Amino acid sequence: MCIFSCAATSTGSAYCWGHNGHGKLGDGTTTNRQVPTEVSGVSGVIDVAAGYDHSCALLSGGSVKCWGGALHEQLGDASSAVYRLSPVTVAGITDAVALDTQSYFNCVLHSTGAVSCWGDGFLGKLGDGATTTRKTPVSVTGISTAVAVATGNNHACALLSDGTVKCWGSNSSGQLGTGSMSPAYSTTPVTVTGISDAVKLDAGQSHTCVVHSGGGVSCWGLNGNRQLGDNTTTNSASPVSVGSLSNAVLVSAGTLTTCAAISGGGAKCWGSDITGQLGDGGSLPGTGSGTPVDVLLP
């Protein structure tokens, strides 16, 4: 459930709104905000990511600042604080070009193609060969040519420059994409089977999706709400093709629903529709769809 949101502006500021427990809106208070409120002490923001109880911003110089809850060390400043009401600098990050977070950990892509993660290390989701929570960023083992990184609830994946994908962390629903749900997790990256031409990547709570160079989309992992788009409810440890999609340019994997931006400006979604998240104008609660449906954009 999303209880707060954050956004970066074209002028380099960050704004957050919604629930403000543990200061995750970054305005120096714990007051809930019904309208966007500027995050204090950050400028040059090029991206902002919201976790469950914290937020982080990627700055134009390659550094990262985080704020909010720190019970899982997800702020990365090596302190023993349990929360921060205002942004603090993540230790040792000077050349980040991309940032992602979903739960109690974060990962960044470095300009060199390496990936670093910090925070909750449960099930090996930091990718450093351990299950240890880390107060400061650690390098993901064996990743040196990444061009994108995506975090799920308890797993993460990197898109490599050759079009392949590697994932690490929980494999409870097959979200590592190795073709097997055993072992239950991996503390170091493993190669996703059958992916050789991926150009975009995103991770949902327990599933992962890529866009292929030809515009097709493949997904793997949890599928109880048909979020893999293969018109079944069967979890898959190997990538499956999404319907008949052939002109996708971007994919966004949510908790129970997945969407793709289509060349020419359209969008299609599949999976759960219980609160109308497919955007196709159906009655609520929606029954969902195992294949892509058109989003009724204005």
Which tens digits make up the pLDDT trace of 261-283?
A: 999 999 999 999 999 999 999 88
Q: In angstroms, rounded to a whole number, what is the distance separating the alpha carbons of residues 98 and 102?
A: 14
pLDDT of residue 2: 65
Q: Which two tokens stand for residue 151?
A: 């975090």
What are the φ/ψ torsions at residue 96 (nearest 5 degrees)? Answer: -70, 140
Q: How many CA atoms lie within 13 A of 73 on its CB side?
A: 18
pLDDT score, position 102: 84
Which two tokens mark 89?
């600098």
Query: How does pLDDT run across 192-229, given as a tens digit for each residue?
Result: 999 999 999 999 999 999 999 999 999 999 999 999 99
Buried b (16+ CB within 10 A) or exposed e, 134-145: bbbbbebbebee
Closest by Cα among 117, 180, 178, 179 to 152: 117
How many whole angstroms separate alpha carbon 91 and alpha carbon 79?
10
In the predicted model, residues of the chain with pLDDT beneath 70 are 1-2
d(CA 68, CA 51) in angstroms, rounded, equals 10
